[in-house]
Chain A
């Protein structure tokens, strides 16, 4: 599985309240996407295009367990790359079937607007613009399976443990 897209950069310590603020907590998942990064980058959710890539620095996604990864997925983001990803946020990427990789050094290796090519076969990323290549931290098979199933809900639904969406 390969993902290619244009890079947007966000720096260190991006938190979940910036991705999914409380004031829109009750909207539908699709409506929530319009408010992604509204507080720190107003207008961005309208500018970004399907398939674009987010690159963070250290500690991306710190904060709440709210389904912020679902908002990034529903916004059409192709993949999240970061030097490190908060453990809870990483879980939620797997949970919602949103592609995310920890790649130490990725923040420094890209400028905004570069093109990134990510492989979920060897968990590496290439900066198509500069030619640089970095190795990411592999996603364990067990998690890759959940991720490829589209997340936990489709898995549990297929096993008859939860009901389909109401």
Chain B
């Protein structure tokens, strides 16, 4: 019996001919991504020896520029660490700033067929790069940075076979909400994405689905590598790599076909995305106070582009705060040069600097008691974005932008024909 993509990458990294569900594997790690939370005083321990400084990437993203004193201290600790070990791939506040998973994509730090660790739960974002990447704990990062290895329990894999193409008002966020609604949680199970629709999907679109897979409670989320991906990586990172494809006789726990043509705009109701989404028409008219577009899942140039298309020449409702947070300075600059930022600002949006920001309720858009928000970010857990009494609906950037215009949850279709 053959192996799935993730089984092949883990087999290779552990030096085994084959790994199977139920195994516990020790693997060598190719890339270690650290971010500001790792350096917070209540968790950071000074590292005395590193396995290999060249494997490291250091990013400040959760609260940048520092929103409070503990964050400022975490940045100071991080800068001292970078200097001590002469770490070259460092993204401080400034021109190379961004959310770590977005930077991993911008710079193709995640190479196909390799292993990347980061202690942010949305690290599965780099699964779009055919990379074994998943969130681990902060202590795991210390272990990987100092010893060059980590461990994984190998789970079974569910394969999602993507077919067809999306219609203009539908995005991979809606596809994710459909999967979470239909199949619920995937605890201890890997997800693998592939199929003929890949050629219709940008790297950004793939990243949205890969990133959101953390919300399925999945283990690894891994995409097949195609020429679009390989060209993207080669244009940004000269390092050699070997992409991994699933064996023809790979064993899956289930194979599920998703027809992209049949997808529609969905909205997740507050508190969870698991078995909790409705077609947008069923929640349309729900009044909102805030609309947010950003995060590692939805701060891409594609996301900003579609939001601008929806609001172009229109006005955000005076009762709504539309907050847009580009995923990185690179994306921000591109959005400026394409006129996207001007369009959003003219419509009444507030553009913030790249950061995790409102998504994790840290700063730049924290919700007050009993407020209602519709968000194109990663999570709608109770209390996630601020006060626990606030309600958080989740949808695509298009649906969020359309809702900001109307002052209430709205179908984006009329703006995107």
Q: Which residues of A contact B (CB under 8 A)?
A: 13, 15, 17-18, 21-23, 25-29, 32, 38-40, 58-59, 62-67, 84-88, 90-92, 95-96, 140, 142-143, 151-153, 155-157, 160-166
Contact between chains at A161 and B121 (CB < 8 Å):
no
B49: chain A residues within 8 A (beta carbon):
160-161
Query: When the two chains form their complex, are residues A143 and B24 in contact, meaning their CB atoms are under 8 A apart?
Result: yes
Interface of B is mostly: loop
Residue B174 CB within 8 A of the other chain: no
Binding site for A on B (CB under 8 A): 24, 26, 37, 40-43, 45-49, 68, 70, 119-121, 134-140, 142-143, 146-147, 151, 153, 155, 185, 187-188, 215, 217, 219, 272, 274, 360-362, 379, 381-384, 388
User: A18 and B142 in contact (CB under 8 A), knowing A67-B43, A92-B137?
Assistant: no
Determine the distance from Cα of A92 to Cα of B136 in the docked complex, in whole angstroms: 8
Contact A153 B45 (CB under 8 A): yes
Verify B137–A67 contact, CB threshold 8 A.
yes
**B48 near A162 (CB under 8 angstroms)?**
yes
**Extra contacts besides A66-B37, A161-B48, A165-B45 (5): CB < 8 Å:** A87-B155, A88-B137, A142-B151, A152-B140, A156-B139
Q: From B136, B143, B362, B382, give the contact of A65 (CB < 8 A).
A: B136
In the bound complex, what is the Cα–Cα distance between A151 and B217 (angstroms)?
23
B119 cross-chain contacts in A, Cβ below 8 A: 65
User: A97 to B143, alpha carbons, bound, how many Å?
Assistant: 15
Taken together as a complex, chains A and B put the C-alpha atoms of A152 and B70 apart, in Å, by 24
Partner of B146, one of A91, A151, A161: A161
- Whether the Cβ atoms of A163 and B45 lie closer than 8 Å is yes
B375 to chain A, nearest CB (A): 14
Does the CB pair A160–B48 fall under 8 Å?
Answer: yes
Q: Given A58-B187, A67-B137, are A18 and B382 neighbors across the interface (CB < 8 Å)?
A: yes
Interface Cβ pair total, 8 Å cutoff: 140
Given A153-B139, A163-B45, A163-B48, are A26 and B382 also a contact pair (CB < 8 Å)?
A: no
- Please name the residue on chain B nearest to A64 by beta carbon: B121
Most chain A C-beta atoms within 10 Å of own C-beta, residue among B41, B48, B381, B382: B381
A23 touches B139 (CB 8 A): no
- Specify which chain B residues have a CB less than 8 angstroms from the CB of A38 in the assembled complex: 388
> Could you tell me the distance between the alpha carbons of A23 and B136 in the complex, rounded to whole angstroms?
22
In the bound complex, what is the Cα–Cα distance between A23 and B366 (angstroms)? 10
The answer on a CB contact under 8 Å between B219 and A95 is no
- Chain B neighbourhood of A90, CB < 8 A: 153
Q: Are B139 and A151 in contact (CB under 8 A)?
A: yes
Chain A residues, Cβ within 8 Å of B274: 13, 59
Please name all residues of chain A whose beta carbon is closer than 8 Å to the beta carbon of B188 when the two chains form the complex.
84, 87
Closest residue on chain B to residue A15 by CB atoms: B381
The listed residue with most A CB atoms (<10 A of its CB), out of B47, B219, B388, is B388
Bound: A13/B271 CA distance, A: 10
Q: Chain B: which residue is nearest A27 at the CB level?
A: B42
Q: List 22 A-B contacts (CB under 8 A).
A: A17-B381, A18-B382, A21-B388, A26-B68, A40-B382, A58-B185, A64-B121, A65-B136, A84-B187, A88-B135, A91-B137, A95-B140, A96-B139, A152-B142, A152-B143, A153-B139, A156-B139, A156-B146, A160-B48, A162-B48, A162-B146, A164-B45
How far, in angstroms, from A59 to B155 measured CA to CA in the complex?
14
